[in-house]
Amino acid sequence: MIIASNFKTNHTRKATREFVEFINNFLKDTNDKHQIRVYPSFTALDVFDTVTAMKVGAQNFYPVDKGSFTGEVGYEQLEEFGVDSVLVGHSERRHILGERQEILLKKFHFAKEKNLEIIYCIGEPQEVREAGIEAVMNYLWEQLEGIDLAYERLVVAYEPVWAIGTGLTASLEDIQETHARLRERVEAPILYGGSVKVENIYEVLSVKNCDGVLVGTASWEKESFCKMIELAQTLKA
Ligand code: PGA
């Protein structure tokens, strides 16, 4: 399974290093069987010496090697830190930063060309969920349009928009049904994200076709993230 922490706009360089070292030491001692991912801010990226199962990745990038894109970060700058895993399509980038499918596809294909692991995030807004599962699936398949589902380093993260950072988690039945429907076409691991925390991670990970979690808020304290990894260890590999 994949247990991932998305820092979003949190943690300084120093706090990030402490976090990564703390988790890494824990993994060294426990021989964890899961894949652990941490996505810090660009300002805190660095070359981190971690166990193989742990990767420090990037929350975002601009799909160029380098160039004139003020305020953006290109591949050369990620490569310098050995970044091998990226997020694409996170709901905050879609809905707050205004990224549309066209740029997300460019990012996906660029990252694929660089052979990066891609956590491609999809998720429906509240009104679509209220319209029922068929509406949800139509929405999700549209977000997956143009994505190469056969890419071997693809991971899909199902994150309902209304569950992100709100404390509201989708019901286990909804997660199970949505993942099962995605599984009809998606062979890649499917993660769930949206208010996952110490109190519910075990149940969420127990859902069939749930291959891991992408956690924001509840993962920002290193002790909590560690606890979540510990709980995951008591489950399937
Ligand atoms: P959350 O964020 O855990 O704070 O809901 C999840 C995410 O944005 O990936």
For the chain, how many structural domains are there in total?
1
What's 13's domain CATH number?
3.20.20.70
* Closest ligand 1 atom, residue 91 Cα: 8
DSSP assigned state of 184: T
Residue 109 falls in the annotated catalytic set: no
Catalytic annotation on 145? Answer: no
Residue type at position 98? G
* Distance, C-alpha 122 to centroid of its chain: 10
3-state secondary structure (DSSP) of residue 168: coil
Instruction: Report the distance separating Cα 111 and Cα 94, nearest Å.
Output: 18
Cα 127 to averaged position of ligand 1 atoms, centre (Å) = 19
pLDDT value for 46: 96
Index of the ligand 1 atom closest to the CA of residue 92: 8
Task: Give the Å distance between the CA of 64 and the centre of ligand 1.
Answer: 27
Which residues of the chain fall short of a pLDDT of 70?
Answer: 236-237
Which residues contact ligand 1 via a Cβ below 6 A? Answer: 6, 159, 164-165, 193-196, 214-218
- The whole-number pLDDT of residue 32 equals 74
Q: What pLDDT, on a 0 to 100 scale, did the predictor assign at position 186?
A: 98
CB 179 within 8 Å of CB 142: no
What is the C-alpha separation between 144 and 156, in angstroms, rounded?
Answer: 9
Q: Residues of the chain with pLDDT > 70: what percent? A: 99
pLDDT in tens, 121-151: 999 999 999 999 999 999 999 999 999 999 9
Residue 152 is part of which domain span?
A: 2-233
Question: Three-state DSSP class for 182?
Answer: helix
Q: Which of 90, 92, 124, 179 is catalytic?
A: 90
Element (H, E) at 124: none
Ligand 1 atom closest to the Cα of residue 215 is: 3
According to the model, what pLDDT value does residue 152 have?
98
